[in-house]
């Protein structure tokens, strides 16, 4: 069960070592053995086997027992952390505390920043890659991609001769980051293909092949696809072939339901972009607990747990750390370097807000046909507008990236 998996996440063999290790942000404490036993008893699930995601219980407003917030203690020894069979969870900052509840992912295409924050996973997209390669320290990755001669690969559009080089560049950066993170890297399929199922499927296989040439196995990759119907159907095929997918640009419940039905390994609800739309529409600010993006993500998370979907929910696109704190305990959470630094600097307690044992009274939503998907997704004006805007934005940055590659090639 999901609770069984949660109860085993990253059980450290020597918890006393975790409590005393420094520097703190390099330690990704997720759960101690006694906490696993506690969660197992609470969720009525046995602790057996291995798991790699989700985390222990938290306080919620859905009738679950309240557990103490992750306590942040600066500069103090963790001696005596275990009292009467229950641990005081001791962390040096909110980033450490968050790592004990959720898999933290670095939302950056820069290997140097991945090395700094030591996340479990990392993720890229055309915008992040474009930003990264504008820095002189990453010029070698540009050179390698151009030398590889990818310009004639992976595109049928001869007006974009450097699309293949962009693929090679993205994979070069991804492979470099995988030297640092113990988990996976998410690599995005060209946004131009977001409404073409077969083209997206073929591009995904091409990216997997490029990683294989660099010695990276598929189990260390998530293929990122836009959460269009075409992207979701491409995901369905890829998952059946053992290629895990990250469905991105997710704004509606319809998208989430369809992704789960397709067997997506992971989805990325865009918290901040949802809030942006409502902020512009209503002309007001939102407190974190009422943030529309936070509420949408909580709904999806609870729906998945209620109906025992294995799809990981990875919250993305944050505007502030308040949104992050409201989603503490979610399966995965991808955070920009700026917000990672803010969490690392904050020594306030971090209460758990999401729990893998959470349930609601929702009915299972059928999302097996495009007609069903379109009917529900198109009823959400925000989601329709933000999905189109997101695809356009990634497409624009993809073109900028290819033009930059062309300029560099001409200079050589």
* Residues designated catalytic: 224
- Total number of residues shown for the chain: 412
Q: Which two tokens stand for residue 375?
A: 């009917």
Closest CA to 397 of 93, 192, 211, 186: 192
Task: Tell me if the bond preceding 185 is cis, omega within 30° of 0.
Answer: no
From residue 309, give the alpha-carbon distance in Å to each of 7, 35, 299, 345, 386.
Answer: 17, 23, 14, 35, 25
Closest CA to 28 of 7, 57, 67, 55: 55
Contact 225, 266 (CB under 8 A): no
State how far the Cα of 306 lies from the Cα of 302, in Å rounded to an integer: 6
Helix residue ranges per DSSP H, 241-362: 253-262, 271-282, 292-306, 321-326, 337-345
Contact 90, 76 (CB under 8 A): yes
State how far the Cα of 92 lies from the Cα of 99, in Å rounded to an integer: 12
Closest CA to 255 of 393, 384, 395: 384
State how far the Cα of 209 lies from the Cα of 148, in Å rounded to an integer: 14
State how far the Cα of 292 lies from the Cα of 275, in Å rounded to an integer: 5
Contact 337, 345 (CB under 8 A): no
Contact 63, 19 (CB under 8 A): no
State how far the Cα of 411 lies from the Cα of 409, in Å rounded to an integer: 5
Phi first, then psi: give them for residue 334, nearest 5 degrees: -105, 130
Torsion of CA 216, 30, 351, 275, to 10 degrees: 10
State how far the Cα of 227 lies from the Cα of 230, in Å rounded to an integer: 8
């Amino acid at each position: 069960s999901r609770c069984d998996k949660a109860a085993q996440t990253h059980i450290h063999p020597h918890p006393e070592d975790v409590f005393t290790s420094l520097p703190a942000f390099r330690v990704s404490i997720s759960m101690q053995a006694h906490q696993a036993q506690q969660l197992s008893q609470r969720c009525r699930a046995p602790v057996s086997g291995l798991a790699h995601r989700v985390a222990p219980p938290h306080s919620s407003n859905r009738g679950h027992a309240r557990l103490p917030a992750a306590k942040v203690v600066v500069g103090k020894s963790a001696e005596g952390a275990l009292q009467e069979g229950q641990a005081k969870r001791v962390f040096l900052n909110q980033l450490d505390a968050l790592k004990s509840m959720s898999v933290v992912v670095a939302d950056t295409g820069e290997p140097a920043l991945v090395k700094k924050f030591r996340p479990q996973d990392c993720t890229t997209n055309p915008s992040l890659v474009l930003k990264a390669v504008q820095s002189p320290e990453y010029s070698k990755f540009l050179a390698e991609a151009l030398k590889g001669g990818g310009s004639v690969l992976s595109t049928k559009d001869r007006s974009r001769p450097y699309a293949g080089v962009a693929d090679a560049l993205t994979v070069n950066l991804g492979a470099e980051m995988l030297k640092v993170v113990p988990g996976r890297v998410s690599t995005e399929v060209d946004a131009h293909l977001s409404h073409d199922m077969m083209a997206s499927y073929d591009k995904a296989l091409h990216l997997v092949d490029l990683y294989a040439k660099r010695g990276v196995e598929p189990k260390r990759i998530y293929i990122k696809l836009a959460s269009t119907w075409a992207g979701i159907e491409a995901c369905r095929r890829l998952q059946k072939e053992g290629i895990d997918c990250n469905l991105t640009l997710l704004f509606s419940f319809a998208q989430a339901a369809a992704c789960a039905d397709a067997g997506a390994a992971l989805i990325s609800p865009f918290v901040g972009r949802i809030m942006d739309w409502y902020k512009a529409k209503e002309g007001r600010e939102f407190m974190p607990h009422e943030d529309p993006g936070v509420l949408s993500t909580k709904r999806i998370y609870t729906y998945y747990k209620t109906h025992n979907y294995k799809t990981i929910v990875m919250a993305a696109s944050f505007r502030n750390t308040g949104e992050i704190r409201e989603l503490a305990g979610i399966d995965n959470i991808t955070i920009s370097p700026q917000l990672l630094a803010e969490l690392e600097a904050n020594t306030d307690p971090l209460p758990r807000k999401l729990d893998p044992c959470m349930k609601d009274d929702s009915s299972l939503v059928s999302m097996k046909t495009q007609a069903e998907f379109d009917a529900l997704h198109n009823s959400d004006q925000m989601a329709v507008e933000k999905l189109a805007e997101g695809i356009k934005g990634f497409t624009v940055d993809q073109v900028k990236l290819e033009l930059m590659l062309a300029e560099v090639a001409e200079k050589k």
